[in-house]
Structure 1
Amino acid sequence: MNNFSKEREVEWIIEGTRLKKLREDSQMSRAELARQMNTSDARLARLENGEGVRNSPTLGRFYELIIKHQKLVEELEVLNNDWEKLMQCINKSKKRNINLAIAEGTSNQQKLKKTRLNTGKRFYI
Structure 2
Amino acid sequence: MEDSLRPGDAFDPNCPTRLVLDRIGDKWSVLVVLSLLDGPRRFTELRHTIGGVTPKVLTQTLRVMERDGLLTREVFAEVPPRVEYALTPLGRSLRAPIEAVTAWAEANVGAVVAARARHDERASPAAATG
Query: Which TM-score band (shorter chain)?
Result: under 0.3
Greater Rg over alpha carbons, structure: 1
Higher strand share: 2
Q: When the two structures are superposed, what TM-score results if normalisation uses the length of structure 1?
A: 0.26
Q: When the two structures are superposed, what TM-score results if normalisation uses the length of structure 2?
A: 0.26
